Amino acid sequence: MQGAADRLVEAGAAGVQFRVARGDDSFVVTSGIAELGSDRPVPENGRFRISCITKPFVSVVVLQLVAEGRIVLDNTVESYLPGLLPYGEKITIRNLLQHTSGLYNYMDSFQKPGDRFLTERYKHYEPTDLIAIAAAKPLEFEPGTKFAYCNTNYFIIGLLIEKVTGRSYRTEITERVLEPLELTETVLPGDDPNIPEPHARGYMQIGGRPEDVTLMNPSEAGCAGEIISTTRDLDTFFAALFGGKLLAEAEFTEMTTPLPPEMIENLPMGIGYGLGIMKLENDGDLDLWGHGAGIPGYATFAATTRDLQHRVQLSFTIGDKDFGHDAEQAVIRGVNIALGF
- Residue range 76-105, pLDDT digits in tens: 999 999 999 999 999 999 999 999 999 999
**Helix/strand/coil (H/E/C) assignment for every residue in the chain:** CHHHHHHHHHCCEEEEEEEEEECCEEEEEEEEECCCCCCCECCCCCEEECHHHHHHHHHHHHHHHHHCCCCCCCCEHHHHCCCCCCCCCCCEHHHHHCCCCCCCCHHHHCCCHHHHHHHHCCCCCCHHHHHHHHHCCCCCCCCCCCCCCCCHHHHHHHHHHHHHHCCCHHHHHHHHHHHHHCCCCCECCCCCCCCCCCECCCEEEECCEEEECCCCCHHHCHHHHCCEECHHHHHHHHHHHHCCCCCCHHHHHHHCCCCCHHHCCCCCCEEEECCCCEEECCCCCCCEEEEEEEECCEEEEEEEECCCCCEEEEEEEECCCCCCHHHHHHHHHHHHHHCCC
Total-model pTM: 0.97
CATH topology of domain 1-339: Beta-lactamase (3.40.710)
Q: What is the pLDDT of residues 212-249, one digit of tens each?
A: 999 999 999 999 999 999 999 999 999 999 999 999 99
Q: Which of 22-31, 250-259, 317-326 has the lowest mean pLDDT?
A: 317-326
Answer whether the bond into residue 198 is a cis peptide, omega within 30°. yes
Cα separation values, 276 from 149, 262, 268, 337, Å: 10, 18, 16, 25
Give the per-residue pLDDT at 321: 74
Q: What is the pLDDT of residues 128-151, one digit of tens each?
A: 999 999 999 999 999 999 999 999
Q: Which of 19-23, 46-50, 265-269 has the lowest mean pLDDT?
A: 265-269
Give the per-residue pLDDT at 113: 67
How large is the average pLDDT for residues 38-67? Answer: 97
For the chain, the average pLDDT equals 95
92, 74 contact by CB (below 8 A):
yes
Give the per-residue pLDDT at 318: 84
Give the whole-angstrom CA distance, residue 316 versus residue 327: 11
How much of the chain, in percent, has pLDDT values that exceed 70?
99
